[in-house]
Amino acid sequence: MQAEILKAIQTISNPFLDYLFIIITMLGSSGFYFIFIPIFYWCIDKRFGLKLGLILIASIYINTVIKEITKISRPIGYPGIRSIFTQSAGGYSFPSGHAQGSATFWGVLMVHYNKKWLWYLGSLVVILVSFSRMYLGVHWPIDIAGGILIAFLIIVLGELVDSIAKENTFKVPFYLKILLSFIIPIVFIWIFPHKDIYEHMGLIAGVLIGYFTDKEKFDFTTHGPFPKQIAKFLIGIIVFFALKEGLKLIMPYENTFNFLRYALCGIWLSLGAPYTFYLLKLNDKKIA
């Protein structure tokens, strides 16, 4: 039944749609999130940027765990199904990481801002990204449905945890925040030591260490005139990708070093970049 659905979808295949849906499917890739989440953290709302990133990485973690447990094969190689852009289809099939990731990302945005136009835009992107995975022949329909459902549950849980955190007035010592920022990701790695988990948990550890250090020592502001906001984004994202790729040249491609590499990238996102913006006078408010 699922194979017949994919075959029916692929009856509309042509070179133009191939390129179109390859572009669309990239809207559900990690590169898209690496570019857009820092915009919120550096230029719009620091706390929301952190929340968006944490919920998305939690979604990726859960997606990885379920895939490794279920071990369902992709439709790649199935008779009668054409699979293209297979480099975007690593690992197992269920649930779809692109569908789940895009539903998580846009879902959090839609709930937070609650604007009608954003609900339309977000829903459209999720539908198109999800459809693209079937058009490209790299996911079964059940993978798409499962990914979106899991994303919905993660968003509900994330909003619940966030509301509890906002109401909690208990003061946690700074040193304990830093310690927990390192220990909690390590615990999640211990629970499920998959190679991708090392990178994701390293990023979380770095971002949290930088975030709490910034809140304690500097508390940078996201405000600034539009030209300076553009400058902040360009400087921040260029250095981020330079670190992400450049550290591969000096660190062995091994789980522990991948954790460290992504942790350093996370520290840049939440502390290094904001302090650089301060030094370059790209913020309205000076760091105290």
Q: What is the mean pLDDT of residues 276-283?
A: 87
pLDDT digits (tens, 9 = 90+) for 161-194: 888 887 776 788 888 999 999 999 999 999 999 9
Percent of the chain with pLDDT over 70: 98
Cα distances from 128 to residues 136, 139, 196, 224, in angstroms, run 12, 14, 26, 34
When pLDDT is cut at 50, 70 and 90, the band that residue 288 belongs to is: very low
Whether residue 204 is predicted with pLDDT greater than 90 in this model: the reply is yes
Distance of alpha carbon 242 from alpha carbon 251, whole angstroms: 14
Closest CA to 109 of 95, 90, 125: 125
3-25 exposure pattern, b = at least 16 Cβ within 10 A, e = fewer: eeebbebbeeeeeeeeeebeebb
Candidate from 6-10, 156-160, 222-226 with smallest mean pLDDT: 222-226
| pTM listed for this prediction | 0.91
Tokens, residue 144: 């798409």
